[in-house]
Amino acid sequence: MNDLKTVLGMKYPIIAGPMAWTSMVSLVSAVANAGALGVLGAGGATLDIIDQQIKKVKEKTDQPFGVNVLLDRSAETYIAQMTDLIDKDNLKFIYADDAEFEGFDKPLAKKWFDIWHEIGLKVIVKVATAKAAIIADESGADVIVAKGREGGGRLSHVGTIALVPEVVDVVKHAAVVASGGISDGRGFAAARVLGASGIEMGTAFLAASEGDIHSNVKKAVVNSTVENLVVTGRDTNSPCWQISNQLSDQLITVEKENAPKVAVPEIEKLATGTLRLAAQDGDVVKGAVMPGQGVSLVNEIRPVKEIITTVYNEGMAILNKKY
Ligand X SMILES: Cc1cc2nc3c(=O)[nH]c(=O)nc-3n(C[C@H](O)[C@H](O)[C@H](O)COP(=O)(O)O)c2cc1C
Interaction site with ligand X (CB under 6 A):
17-20, 22, 41, 43, 68, 97, 126, 147, 150-153, 179-182, 200-204, 290-292, 294
Q: How far is the CB of 117 from ligand X (least distance, A)?
A: 20
Q: How far is the CB of 153 from ligand X (least distance, A)?
A: 3
Angle among Cα 235, 238, 242 to the nearest 5 degrees reads 100
Report the SS3 class of residue 39: strand
Q: How far is the CB of 322 from ligand X (least distance, A)?
A: 29
Nearer to ligand X, 184 or 235 (CB): 184
Nearer to ligand X, 29 or 179 (CB): 179
In the chain, at which residue ranges do the beta strands (DSSP E only) sit?
Answer: 14-16, 37-40, 66-71, 93-98, 122-127, 143-147, 175-179, 198-201, 229-232, 240-243
Using alpha carbons, select from 245, 228, 252 the residue that is nearest to residue 285: 245
Nearer to ligand X, 10 or 290 (CB): 290
Q: How far is the CB of 62 from ligand X (least distance, A)?
A: 24
Nearer to ligand X, 186 or 258 (CB): 186
Nearer to ligand X, 130 or 287 (CB): 287
Nearer to ligand X, 262 or 310 (CB): 310
Q: Is the distance from CB of 50 to CB of 24 less than 8 angstroms? A: no
Nearer to ligand X, 26 or 68 (CB): 68
Q: How far is the CB of 53 from ligand X (least distance, A)?
A: 13
Using alpha carbons, select from 97, 73, 101, 225 the residue that is nearest to residue 157: 101
70-85 burial: b if 16+ Cβ within 10 Å, else e: bbbeeeeeebeebbeb
Q: How far is the CB of 258 from ligand X (least distance, A)?
A: 26
Report the SS3 class of residue 136: helix
Report the SS3 class of residue 180: coil
Q: Indicate the pairing of strand 198-201 with strand 229-232.
A: unpaired
Amino acid type, 60 = K
Using alpha carbons, select from 202, 156, 207, 158 the residue that is nearest to residue 182: 202
| Closest residue to bound ligand X by CB | 202
Q: How far is the CB of 16 from ligand X (least distance, A)?
A: 8
